[in-house]
Amino acid sequence: MKQSTDRILTTHTGSLPRTKELTKLLVARERRRPFDQAEFDAEAARALDLVLKGQVEAGIDIVNDGEVPRVGFSTYVTERMSGFGGVSRRKQSLDLQKFPEWAKFGETQIGVAEDLARVWDTAEAQQAVHYEESLAGITYDLDLFDRGLRDPAISPAVSETFVSAASPGIVTTTMLRSADNPDYATDRDYVFGVAAELKKEYEYIVSRGHVLQLDAPDLAMERVIMFGDDPLDVFLDSVRLHIEAMNFALADIPAEKVRLHVCWGNWQGPHQDDVPVAALLDLLYEAKVGALSIPLGNPRHEHESVAFRDNPLPDGMVLIPGVIDVTTNYLEHPQVVANRIQAVVDAVGDPTRVIAGIDCGLGTFASYEFIATDVGWAKLRALREGADIVSQRIWG
What pLDDT does 112 receive? Answer: 46
3-state helix/strand/coil string of 318-379: EEEEECCCCCCCCCCCHHHHHHHHHHHHHHHCCHHHECEECCCCCCCECCECCCCHHHHHHH
**Mean pLDDT (the chain, rounded):** 94
pLDDT score of 118 more than 50: yes
Cα dihedral 296, 227, 70, 128 sign: positive
Per-residue pLDDT at 117: 57
Query: What is the rounded (10 degree) CA torsion for 380, 157, 9, 261?
Result: 70
The share of the chain scoring above pLDDT 90, in percent, equals 86
**Which of 97-111, 163-177, 241-255 shows the lowest per-residue confidence on average (mean pLDDT)?**
97-111
- Listed range (105-114, 174-183, 284-293) with the worst mean pLDDT: 105-114
- β-pair type (62-63, 160-166): parallel
Q: How confident is the model at residue 368 (pLDDT cuts 50, 70, 90)?
A: confident
In percent, how much of the chain has pLDDT > 70?
Answer: 96
If you ran DSSP here, which 8-state letter would residue 297 be given? S
Mean pLDDT of 165-180: 97
Q: Are 13 and 357 in contact (CB under 8 A)?
A: yes
pLDDT tens digits for 327-354? Answer: 999 999 999 999 999 999 999 999 999 9
pLDDT the model gives residue 369: 77
For every residue of 112-172, DSSP letters joined together read -HHHHHHHHS--EEEEEEEE-TT-HHHHHHHHHHHHHHT-TTTGGG-SEEEEEEE-HHHHH
pLDDT at 367 over 90: no
**Do residues 265 and 326 touch, judged by C-beta distance below 8 A?**
no
DSSP state of 310: H
pLDDT attached to residue 113? 44
What residues form DSSP beta bridges with 125?
A: 84, 177
Does residue 266 carry a pLDDT above 90?
Answer: no
60-117 residue pLDDT tens? 999 999 999 998 899 999 999 999 999 988 898 999 899 988 887 755 444 444 455 5
Structural domains for the chain: 20-395 (3.20.20.210)
Higher pLDDT, 205 or 120: 205
The whole-number pLDDT of residue 31 equals: 86
Q: What is the pLDDT of residues 195-232, one digit of tens each?
A: 999 999 999 999 999 999 999 999 999 999 999 999 99
Region 156-162: mean pLDDT is 95
Q: Which tens digit of pLDDT belongs to each residue from 21-73?
A: 999 999 899 888 999 999 999 999 999 999 999 999 999 999 999 999 998 89
Neighbours of 236 (CB within 10 A): 18
Rounded Cα distance, 48 and 66, in Å: 7
Q: What is the mean pLDDT of residues 290-308?
A: 98
Tell me the CA distances in angstroms from 109 to 118, 230, 268, one per residue in order.
Answer: 18, 31, 10
CA 394 to chain centre: 29
pLDDT of 241 strictly over 70: yes
Identity at 155, one-letter amino acid code: S
